[in-house]
């Protein structure tokens, strides 16, 4: 594959990954907490759900999300031949 | 020690260090059993840890530019994660966060969400690309990407304003802790704290700050977690308290109804600066309250992704991939403390409120409460107070006042843990405040020495002169920070959130669009930085109680002025960029190059 189209593919996939990551980020940063009051009617692990999401749930999701993001981005880099030599 | 295969030996070195610190804690516990006074143990804890940091700072001294500015770009992802976590978690996170949740309930958790979720932005939008760029400082990126001294200079201005706001609060915190632990006046404590901070950073720059921050993270996380685990197991809350405090949360809601929290009249505190519990623990608002929650989250997140002292930590990793992994490690290490803080706040509140627990004080007779040792100790220093407003001799929820800091500082005593734990907590608070102050001072001094002095004023300066200037600036800025801190302008020092709002108003879009939008050009970046920063600052001046104090527009108060600054910055930058010529081919090729991890960095290893 020529350099320019590899580059285009790399960037297209990188951009999609960024968008997916930020959509998940948006949901757990804003949407969930906007409805915290309604979520408090439910119980999760003994917690009111709205409180749980702010105190612990969103934070766990963020950690997992970044790990997944770093892993996926590295796969994009190796697939398209732009990974660093190590 | 910091030579040759030091990097390969990192796990061993810090493993030994952690073991040594645990032995030191046991030694202190032994001394306490032998009757050594609590004050002496406090002094030993603070003095010993500062001595260790200073020793690491001395061993990491350097005269090389890339070692001074980016630790030679050889910090492994895990250790850079620890250093970032220490850089990130300030005295405020350590001492005040649990107290904030105690008083603010669900609403305050916006800080916890914002200060963790911001790392998703750092990982996906910023860190890997800035690492590929190879810059020494954030203005270095702005200056090279957009070209021209004006863009670089504006980035330096925003960086200095945001970081200086933040660093005074940190020096203030080191002064408070040093003065209490070492029994010296606050004004002296501030300068003592500064001395410790400078010892860590001056000789070795980023390299020294990196290795001291790792050491400080280890101290602060042990100091935060040990008391919580100990208390939880002692009081029978469960082995791993973070996962099982749901019942405690539910019980607090019951107790709040029982004590009629929402129906009690407001009572004046006998001591200024103390507060009684007014906000329910769990209840989340709708409408304006929900809006205030998400706007605060957004400002803190965008601010996280724009604060130069955090971004520059990812310039130190060996590769782009390591920079990405390092963001994940950073958030994990931060998460350990941040998901513990709500648990700590909940347990402390339950212990104070629940009449079924031995520690409960609400609903007891005031004479009985006043006889408690921890009540006497903390009220004598003005951290808590009791005002029997209705004169019935029973302590009610609206009659018990305290300072938020007490939740972390006094928990060991409320739960009846030995004093050695309080000494440990003081050392942890000191580590948290020192590590953040170090990172901030270095960010300011590096921007001034590298971007203002070397790149703008004297591009021919020799390496030796550059590093000398960097060190003189570090001392000068530190002294200025300590001077401002010693003035005790509490209304200004209280607002750590301002640093985040300044940073996101001025820098967020110029950095992000510099990577993600090739069409962004110099006039656009200049307009974005100027517009966002000025709009945000003017709004702050208009709304902050310390200044004009007008009624906030749509609930956007002084903690959230980034909500005004960011959109102005975005609009200015996009409109002006589109109205002016697109960047030249060379700049566009440079942007293409930073988007892929492989290949040489844009800027050389010493530049």
Domain boundaries, chain A: 21-79
Asked if the C-beta of B456 comes within 8 angstroms of chain A's C-beta atoms, the answer is no
Closest to B521 measured CA to CA, from B593, B574, B590, B592: B574
Does the distance separating the beta carbons of B106 and A50 come in below 8 Å? yes
pLDDT of residue A54: 94
pLDDT of residue B489: 66
Q: Is residue B275 part of a domain?
A: no
| Pair type for strands B400-402 and B384-386 | antiparallel
Q: Flag the least confident range among A4-8, B406-410, B421-425, B515-519.
A: B406-410
- Same domain for B350 and B332: yes
pLDDT of residue B1: 47
CB burial of residue B8 (10 Å; 0-12, 13-18, 19+): exposed
- pLDDT tens string, chain A, 86 residues long: the values are 567 788 999 999 999 999 999 999 999 999 999 999 989 899 898 899 999 999 999 999 999 999 999 999 999 999 998 988 76
Does the distance separating the beta carbons of A10 and B595 come in below 8 Å? yes
| Cα(B451)–Cα(B533) distance, integer angstroms | 19
- Same domain for B457 and B526: no
Which span out of B111-120, B185-194, B401-410 was modeled with the highest average pLDDT? B111-120
- Sign, CA dihedral B321-B322-B324-B325, equals positive
From B120's Cα to the closest Cα of chain A, the distance in A is 6
- Same domain for B476 and B487: yes
Q: Is residue B220 part of a domain?
A: yes
- Same domain for B237 and B154: yes
Asked if the C-beta of A84 comes within 8 angstroms of chain B's C-beta atoms, the answer is yes
Local confidence band at B282 (pLDDT 50, 70, 90 cut-offs): confident
Q: Which residues pair with B365 in a beta bridge?
A: B394
| Cα(B11)–Cα(B20) distance, integer angstroms | 14
Residue identified by tokens 């300072």 is B403
B529, B155 contact by CB (below 8 A): yes
Asked if the C-beta of B290 comes within 8 angstroms of chain A's C-beta atoms, the answer is yes
Angle at B319 between CA B313 and CA B325, to 5 degrees: 65
pLDDT of residue B4: 57
Closest to B444 measured CA to CA, from B483, B464, B462, B470: B470
Query: B108: domain CATH number?
Result: 1.20.1730.10
ipTM: 0.96
B76, B6 contact by CB (below 8 A): no
* Three-state DSSP state, B402: strand
Region B372-383 average pLDDT: 82
Decide which of B432, B463, B493 is a domain's last residue: B493
* Residues of chain B contacting residue A25, judged by C-beta atoms under 8 Å apart: 117, 120-121, 124
Q: Is residue B397 part of a domain?
A: no
Provide the number of structural domains found in chain B: 2
Region B555-567 average pLDDT: 89
Answer yes or no: is pLDDT of B214 > 50: yes
* Residues of chain B contacting residue A10, judged by C-beta atoms under 8 Å apart: 595-596
Which phi and psi (to 5°) does residue B214 adopt?
Answer: -60, -45
- Same domain for B502 and B461: no
- Same domain for B198 and B252: yes
Closest to B604 measured CA to CA, from B134, B183, B284: B134
- Same domain for B461 and B429: yes
Local confidence band at B3 (pLDDT 50, 70, 90 cut-offs): low
pLDDT of residue B70: 86
| Cα(B54)–Cα(B212) distance, integer angstroms | 8
Read off the pLDDT of residues B590-599 as tens digits, 9 standing for 90 and up: 999 999 998 8
Helices B496-516 and B138-146: angle between axes, nearest 10 degrees: 30
Which tokens go with B265?
């009249």
Can you give the residue range of the structural domain that contains B421? 1-53+66-257+286-357+366-383+402-493
| Cα(B42)–Cα(A59) distance, integer angstroms | 34
Which phi and psi (to 5°) does residue A47 adopt?
Answer: -100, 150
Decide which of B467, B493, B519 is a domain's last residue: B493
Region B143-160 average pLDDT: 92
Region B573-579 average pLDDT: 95
* Three-state DSSP state, B339: coil
- Same domain for B534 and B464: no
By CA distance, what is A75's nearest residue in B? B321
Asked if the C-beta of A20 comes within 8 angstroms of chain B's C-beta atoms, the answer is no
Q: Which residues pair with B290 in a beta bridge?
A: none
Q: Is residue B394 part of a domain?
A: no
> What's chain B's average pLDDT?
88
Does the distance separating the beta carbons of B285 and A37 come in below 8 Å? yes
Local confidence band at B414 (pLDDT 50, 70, 90 cut-offs): confident
By CA distance, what is B341's nearest residue in A? A55
Asked if the C-beta of B477 comes within 8 angstroms of chain A's C-beta atoms, the answer is no
CB burial of residue B581 (10 Å; 0-12, 13-18, 19+): exposed
Other Cβ atoms less than 10 A from the Cβ of B381: the count is 10
Answer yes or no: is pLDDT of B386 > 90: no
| Cα(B10)–Cα(B44) distance, integer angstroms | 27
Answer yes or no: is pLDDT of B492 > 70: no
- Same domain for B149 and B113: yes
Q: Is residue B300 part of a domain?
A: yes
Answer yes or no: is pLDDT of B495 > 80: no
Which phi and psi (to 5°) does residue B460 adopt?
Answer: -95, 0
| Cα(B91)–Cα(B566) distance, integer angstroms | 27
| Cα(B30)–Cα(B28) distance, integer angstroms | 5
Asked if the C-beta of A68 comes within 8 angstroms of chain B's C-beta atoms, the answer is no
Asked if the C-beta of A6 comes within 8 angstroms of chain B's C-beta atoms, the answer is no
**Secondary structure letter of residue A47 according to DSSP:** E
Decide which of B450, B475, B493 is a domain's last residue: B493
By CA distance, what is A44's nearest residue in B? B246
Q: Is residue B505 part of a domain?
A: yes
- Same domain for B183 and B143: yes
pLDDT of residue B112: 94
B162, B503 contact by CB (below 8 A): yes
Alpha carbon separation from B325 to A22, A86, B331, B599 (Å, rounded):
17, 15, 10, 19
Region B414-442 average pLDDT: 87
The strand ranges marked E within chain A are 43-44, 47-48
Q: How many CB pairs under 8 A join A and B?
A: 160
- Same domain for B526 and B410: no
Q: Is residue B171 part of a domain?
A: yes
| Helix (H) or strand (E) segment spanning residue B386 | strand B384-386
Helices B288-304 and B496-516: angle between axes, nearest 10 degrees: 60
Residue identified by tokens 């309604």 is A38
Asked if the C-beta of B517 comes within 8 angstroms of chain A's C-beta atoms, the answer is no
Give the best residue of A56, A75, A77, A80 to mutate against chain B (max B CB count within 10 A).
Answer: A56
Does the distance separating the beta carbons of B339 and A55 come in below 8 Å? yes
Which tokens go with B580?
């002016």
Region B148-177 average pLDDT: 88
Answer yes or no: is pLDDT of B26 > 90: yes
Answer yes or no: is pLDDT of B305 > 90: yes
- Same domain for B550 and B423: no
Three-state SS sequence of B241-306: HHHHCHHHHHHHHHHHHHCCHHHCCCCCCCCCCCECCCCCCCCCCCCHHHHHHHHHHHHHHHHHCC
Q: Smallest Cβ distance to B124: which of A10, A22, A58?
A: A22
């Amino acid at each position: 594959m020529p350099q320019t189209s590899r580059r285009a593919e790399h960037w297209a996939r990188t951009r999609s990954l960024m968008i997916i990551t930020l959509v998940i980020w948006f949901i757990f940063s804003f949407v969930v907490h906007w409805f915290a009051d309604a979520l408090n009617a439910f119980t999760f692990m003994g917690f009111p759900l709205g409180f749980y999401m702010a105190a612990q749930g969103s934070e766990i999701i963020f950690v997992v999300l970044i790990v997944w993001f770093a892993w996926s981005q590295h796969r994009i880099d190796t697939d398209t031949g732009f990974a660093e030599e190590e | 020690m910091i030579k040759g295969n030091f990097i390969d030996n990192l796990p061993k070195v810090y493993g030994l260090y952690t073991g040594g610190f645990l032995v030191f804690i046991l030694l202190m516990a032994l001394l306490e059993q032998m009757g050594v006074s609590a004050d002496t143990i406090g002094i030993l804890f603070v003095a010993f840890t500062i001595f260790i940091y200073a020793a690491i700072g001395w061993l990491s001294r350097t005269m090389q530019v890339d070692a001074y500015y980016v630790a030679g770009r050889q910090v492994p992802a895990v250790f850079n994660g620890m250093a970032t976590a220490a850089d990130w978690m300030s005295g405020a996170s350590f001492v005040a966060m649990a107290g904030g949740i105690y008083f603010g309930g669900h609403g305050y958790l916006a800080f916890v969400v914002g200060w963790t979720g911001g790392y998703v932005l750092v990982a996906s939008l910023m860190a890997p690309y800035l690492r590929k760029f190879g810059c020494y400082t954030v203005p270095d990126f702005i200056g090279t990407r957009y070209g021209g001294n004006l863009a670089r200079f504006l980035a330096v201005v925003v960086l200095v304003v945001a970081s200086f706001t933040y660093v005074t609060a940190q020096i203030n915190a080191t002064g408070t802790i040093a003065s209490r632990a070492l029994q010296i006046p606050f004004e002296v404590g501030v300068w003592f704290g500064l001395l410790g901070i400078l010892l860590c950073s001056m000789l070795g720059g980023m390299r020294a700050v990196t290795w001291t921050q790792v050491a400080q993270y280890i101290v602060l996380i042990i100091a935060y977690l040990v008391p919580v685990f100990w208390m939880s197991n002692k009081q029978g809350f469960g082995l791993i308290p973070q996962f099982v405090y749901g019942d405690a949360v539910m019980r607090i809601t019951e107790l709040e109804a029982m004590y009629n929290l929402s129906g009690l009249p407001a009572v004046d505190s006998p001591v200024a600066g103390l507060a009684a519990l007014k906000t329910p623990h769990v209840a989340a608002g709708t409408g304006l309250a929900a809006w205030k929650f998400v706007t605060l989250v957004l400002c803190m997140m965008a601010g996280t992704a724009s604060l130069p002292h955090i971004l520059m930590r990812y310039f130190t990793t060996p590769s782009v991939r390591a920079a990405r992994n390092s963001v994940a490690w950073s958030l994990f290490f931060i998460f350990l403390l941040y998901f513990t803080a709500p648990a700590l706040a909940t347990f402390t509140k339950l212990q104070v409120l629940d009449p079924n627990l031995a520690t409960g004080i609400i609903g007891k007779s005031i004479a009985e409460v006043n006889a408690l040792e921890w009540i006497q100790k903390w009220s004598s220093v003005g951290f808590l107070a009791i005002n029997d407003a209705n004169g019935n001799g029973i302590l009610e929820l609206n009659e018990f006042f305290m300072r938020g800091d007490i939740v972390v500082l006094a928990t060991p005593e409320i739960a009846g843990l030995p004093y050695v734990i309080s000494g440990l907590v003081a050392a942890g608070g000191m580590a948290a405040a020192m590590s953040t102050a170090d990172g901030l001072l270095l960010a300011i001094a590096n921007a001034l020495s590298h971007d203002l002095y070397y790149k703008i004023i004297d591009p021919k300066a020799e390496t030796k002169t550059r590093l000398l200037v960097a060190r003189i600036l570090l001392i000068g800025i530190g002294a200025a920070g300590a001077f401002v801190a010693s003035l005790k302008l509490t209304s200004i020092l209280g607002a750590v959130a301002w640093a985040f709002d300044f940073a996101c108003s001025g820098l967020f879009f110029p950095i992000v669009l510099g990577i993600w939008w090739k069409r962004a050009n110099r006039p656009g970046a200049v307009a974005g930085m100027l517009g966002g920063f000025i709009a945000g600052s003017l709004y702050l001046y208009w709304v902050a109680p310390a200044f004009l104090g007008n009624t906030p527009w749509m609930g956007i108060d002084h903690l959230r002025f980034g909500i005004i600054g960011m959109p102005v910055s975005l609009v200015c930058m996009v409109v002006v960029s589109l109205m002016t010529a697109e960047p030249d081919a060379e700049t566009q090729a440079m942007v293409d190059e930073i988007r892929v991890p492989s290949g040489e960095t844009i800027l050389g290893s010493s530049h």
